[in-house]
Structures are given as structure tokens and as C-alpha cells.
Amino acid sequence: MAVLKLELDTQEIIDNFFDDTKLLGIVTTVKDYRFCWNLNNLLGLNFRINHDIEINLKRKKRHYFFSVYEYHEPNSALCHYLYNNLYDGEYLLPEFKNLDFLWLMKNDTVTEEYLNQIKAMLRNIPGVQLVTELTNEKIKNKEYLIF
């Protein structure tokens, strides 16, 4: 008896999610709650943890929970999501083991000028060691960023 195996094609969902997005990778020596506090106080943002979109992955017979912080710009459709890339020794995106956080901007056009301004402000935050722009092509496990 042949077993029919169905696979869900998620490529269209992934492509739609990453339309009009910009992604930054951040290396810092600061814990996630302290880093968000710095972002909120030094940059005038309002990042808040959102447990509803927390990323839950099962690897090695264990569950890993990657926190996601969210900020919606007032009077704009632009949303900012800050993903914690490390939880209990496991990485959300293993291809970026050197990155502590991933900052995704979506739902509105992000100009190069705006992106450069964000990168410059991030580099001035205490404990931030590296800020780099990531292209969608570099991400092997895009589905892990979708909530």
C-alpha cells in the first residue's frame, strides 16, 4: 500500500511576508531587555515584547522560544520587529550564529537614507559592536521569521 505524502508549499507565503522588508543584523554584549530599553530611551522608540508572535521551534527534542519585540511607527504603516537570535544555546537562524538580534522593518517602504540613519544610531548605543544589512538571499531559513 502506497502512502501519500503531502507537502505544504510555503514559498508564496514567505515571498509575501518579505515584500518591502529590510533586515539588519546586530551584535551586542547587552541582554535583550536591556537592549530594547536602550532603543526606547536613546532612540525614542517604543519596542515592546509580543508573546503572541514569539517564535517556538522544536529542535533536538526540545522546545526553544525566541522572543520578538514589536514597534509600530505612529502615523505610518511601518512596523519594526526585533528578533532574539539566541535562546538557551540554540539559534533562530543558525546561518547567523554571530548575530544576537535581527531587526526586520516591513509594511512600508524603507528608504536607504532612513536605513542608514537607523544603522548610525544603533552604532552609537553602548554595547553594540556591529550593525549590518542582510539581504533576503542570505537567509536560508526564512520561514523561522514568519509569525
Helices (H), the chain: 11-17, 32-43, 112-123
Decide: 147 and 65 in contact? Cβ < 8 Å.
no
Among 98, 109, 107, CA closest to 134: 98
Residue from 24, 37, 50, 55 nearest 118 by CA = 24
CB atoms within 10 A of CB 1: 2
Q: What is the mean pLDDT of the chain?
A: 88
Cell of 92: 533562530
Instruction: Encode pLDDT of 66-82 as tens digits.
Output: 999 999 999 999 999 99
Q: List the domain boundaries for the chain.
A: 20-139
pLDDT digits (tens, 9 = 90+) for 21-75: 899 999 999 999 999 999 999 889 999 999 999 999 888 888 999 999 999 999 9
> Which CATH code for domain 20-139?
3.30.310
